[in-house]
Chains A and B, each alone.
Chain A
Amino acid sequence: MAKQTLDQKLAILSDAAKYDASCASSGSTKRDSRDGKGLGSNEGNGICHAYTPDGRCISLLKILMTNFCIYDCSYCINRVSSNVTRARFSADEVVRLTIEFYRRNYIEGLFLSSGVIRSPDATMSDMVLIARKLRHEEKFRGYIHLKTIPDAAPELIEEAGLLADRLSINVELPTDAAVKQYAPEKKPEQIRRAMANVRMAKDASKEKSFTGKRPPRFAPAGQSTQMIIGADGSNDATILGQSTRLYSSYKLKRVYYSAFSPIPDSSAKLPLIRPPLQREHRLYQADWLLRFYDFQLDEITSVTLAGNLDLDIDPKLAWALAHRGVFPLDVNHASREMLLRVPGFGVKTVDRILITRRHRALRYEDLMRMGALMKKARAFVTAGGWTPGGLTDSANLRARFAPPPEQLTLF
């Protein structure tokens, strides 16, 4: 076989990396290279440098070190039983691509993942080598996200955490049974143990020593994980239950939901379907309600049908429609907790309401200027000059928000 060019390798290894949803570059330590002795900066909030027609952003150079893999996970394009073309970057090639893309302002940094070759430790140490070269030889101060291999030795994870901004380990599927079925070589308990180790290393790096000295920051942008939805039969209640446990157990920054998407050269074990994008969207909305709106898991799952979120309306609206007794709320008196439950009000809107109503009573027009989506919210609130009257309890309220019924095609 002819030697692959850098361009060919990049094509193969970025194609193989696109099934990872995460591309965040936010939430790390602030740093810059104003001193002229390095390259890059990180300002806390991420920047999306481009968008592809799938609506996803490109913030990081997301590539695999290699797509050779000894595992046989049915959902994965790189599994050992797949016939895709294989390639492997050398450490210097990855470093060069990252630096050259960064200098041209194409990216915020590197998201490096890899198929498992030789052994988990060998793979992980190659990935750590790349991060080390970037940080120490190139003095790179941009963002690095390393996908860790769960079975790798703790010393390697330790070093990875000191070099990278974020570490992630994918739980892959919502239940242990599904992982056993579709990723026979992966062990859910090992994945959890690896996440626990990352969390403990991060907690330990926050404690000052008796002299008051701080140890070096460990993965300052935290850890995240991803699960594929729609490949196994788990319902949304199971998925959200799993993510609440992951958030509370390992202090994850994010759980990414990735709609199972057809891959080239797919396995016979998994049906190829259109990716359930709407379901993925609803799961993210529910995830946000759990993390930022003080919703409890059972409140969201209690208004679902057979444990699955309503695809036509968002989960907050679904909750509000099922609890119309508490509405309409008076925006001039209701508590923060209750205002957060109004469909169409976000956290920012609610904070603005709370600040402004200290000075004067709010009217309907004020809410519009504050960024509330009044088309949704008006059935659930009263304000100066506005009362929803019978709207809150009207029988066709749901129909106002749901998309109109569609005629199925005959053929």
Chain B
Amino acid sequence: MHQVSLPPIGTAKAWREAARRFLASRVPPEQIIWGDHAAAPDLFGNVTPPPVGGPVSVPRSFVTMAQTAVWHSDPERFARLYAFLWRLKDAPQLMNDRGDGDLAHLRQMEKNVRRCQHKMKAFVRFREIGAPDAPRRSFAAWFEPSHHTVEPTADFFVRRFSDMDWRILTPDVSAIFEHGKLSFQQGHSKPELPEDAGEALWITYFQNIFNPARLMVKAMQSEMPRKYWKNMPEAALIPQMIAQAPARARAMAEAAPTLPPARMAQVQAQMLPHASAWDGPHEDLHHAIRACTRCPLHCHATQAVLGEGPRDADLMVVGEQPGDMEDLSGRPFVGPAGQIFNSIAAEVGLNRDAVYVTNAVKHFKFTPRGKKRIHQRPNISEIEHCRWWLNAEIAQIRPKLILAMGAAAAQSLTGNDTPILPRCGKIEPGPYGIPVLVTLHPSYLLRVTDTAVRKAANAQFRQNLAQFCAAGGIRPTTI
């Protein structure tokens, strides 16, 4: 028989060291009596120190678990950990077996310690013990944890409160942090800490952030068990707050609505100059498009995407509708399809800054799928509703030629909804008698998977853009 007594400070390291030696010398769990420093020496225990061991290897996940579970208050913890370690040496896959009874018990212990650590991080309440204007301030707290959690949790407070001195005193082990050095001491009794002015403000906050109309005492108690209340200054008020809540809620419900205060009109007058602060260019058309609610698309899209380009452009390009990127940024032709358009336009010598680009439908239509937005074709009624705006833009710009990209644009401009492919490259009459050149939508070039078809479509689109360039009187720049 071996007997091991582990110290209260540095327990995890001591257990690990002892367990490593026992395991290396193949000492079975039945032969070891584990105890903490407080345990009485066992009558049958042989006080021989653990034998000298060699290297042993165990799964990393066990080490992580043991380093937490070893702080549990259960006196059996050391023996349970070693017994499981003993089983693990022949069957390392046991660590992945969540149905195993022994592992489930250790995991439960680990969970209890973690919860206790978490509650310690949350519920420790410091009081100032030094002068508030001292260069290095000084705080102290009294806390009563359920497990031996001070040592494993102290580092959290070091990471957080390094620029001040603090001490967390407990009946078990206390942590003291002075001038950047952490130390542990044992056996403190509850100190008399001085009154702290910050505490009164905190209590005021606690009382006022509470909403008496939604009383849920059980939810509070499951997260903040009563055992912690005695060391939390705000908790003394809880019974009173609960008792008054129903009456306060009733009083709110029964109070008759009051008349608005006299200053309301004056205050609201301040707002007028700011009312249109966000509505972009001060042109009526753009303003009106942004505020459009003619079809239901506006409720879901971020914003109406307005046309862009010179007022006196000779050429106008009309796409289908904004996509994901356009919807977020509020600018047309900035997404993947827009980039295709830009690159091919640059190749055929079409200067994008010289043309006015816009869309047949101004709002993005989509269905959410998980974290993505999937583009959806606008339907006839949406195209019809938005034609109002497209025509208004055309009337303002008065271009000489319009390029309709894709079926929706072609339909909006010509009223003809027949298939687009046979119409590509043809000129059709558009609004106000302005000619419309029909072509594919650049997103089609991204969508087709068949290489041969894509090549043909690319050539077709390039040819139509060149045609558009030439008809508009822009000389293709030679590269």
Contact = CB atoms under 8 A, between A and B. Distances in A.
B99 A119 contact: no
Interface in A105-129: 105-106, 118-121
A362 B100 CA distance: 10
A54 B368 contact: no
B249 A51 contact: no
B270 A118 contact: yes
A263 B214 CA distance: 11
A374 interface: no
Interface stretch (B200-208, B311-319, B419-427, B429-437): B200-208
Contacts of B97: 356, 359-360
Interface residues of A, number: 102
A297 interface: yes
B277 A151 contact: yes
A297 B374 CA distance: 14
Contacts of A346: none
B98 A11 contact: no
B242 A58 contact: no
Contact of A7 (B99, B204, B241, B267): B204
Interface size class of B (residues with CB under 8 A): 35 or more
B321 to A, nearest CB: 15
Nearest to B220: A51
Interface string B58-97: 0000000000000000000000000000000000010011
Nearest to A45: B118
Given A33-B162, A104-B196, A10 B204 contact: yes
Interface stretch (A158-166, A246-254, A305-313): A246-254
A192 interface: yes
Contacts of B161: 33, 39, 103
Given A52-B209, A81-B260, A192-B302, A34 B159 contact: yes
A381 interface: no
B372 A50 contact: no
A269 B220 CA distance: 33
Interface stretch (B184-192, B322-330, B439-447): B322-330
Interface stretch (B19-27, B123-131, B346-354): B123-131
Question: Which of B96, B160, B260 has the largest number of chain A CB atoms within 10 A?
Answer: B160
Nearest to B160: A41
A34 B96 contact: no
B330 A10 contact: no
B299 interface: yes
Interface in B365-406: 366, 368-373
B449 interface: no
Nearest to B298: A189
Given A33-B162, A55-B218, A196-B302, A266 B252 contact: yes
A54 B214 contact: yes
A31 B162 CA distance: 13
B213 A275 contact: yes
B169 to A, nearest CB: 14
Nearest to A384: B99
B255 A50 contact: no
Contacts of A7: 200-201, 204
Contacts of A259: 214
Contacts of A334: none
Nearest to B242: A53
Contact of B216 (A14, A97, A277): A277
Nearest to B219: A55
B44 interface: no
B178 to A, nearest CB: 12
A193 B207 CA distance: 37
Contact of A97 (B99, B201, B261): B201
A262 B164 CA distance: 43
Interface string A10-40: 1110110111000000000000111111111
Interface of A: 6-7, 10-12, 14-15, 17-19, 32-41, 43, 47-58, 61-62, 70-72, 80-83, 97, 100-101, 103-106, 118-121, 150-151, 175-176, 185, 187-190, 192-193, 195-196, 199-200, 244-245, 247-251, 259, 261-268, 272, 274-275, 277, 297, 352, 355-356, 358-360, 362-363, 365-367, 369-370
Given A50-B122, A248-B370, 15 more contacts: A10-B208, A11-B208, A39-B160, A50-B224, A54-B215, A55-B218, A55-B223, A82-B260, A103-B198, A106-B125, A120-B277, A199-B328, A249-B368, A266-B255, A359-B93
List 7 tightest A-B contacts by C-beta distance, closest first: A55-B219, A366-B99, A55-B216, A81-B260, A248-B368, A32-B159, A268-B257
8 contacts: A47-B121, A53-B241, A103-B137, A118-B270, A263-B252, A277-B214, A362-B99, A369-B101
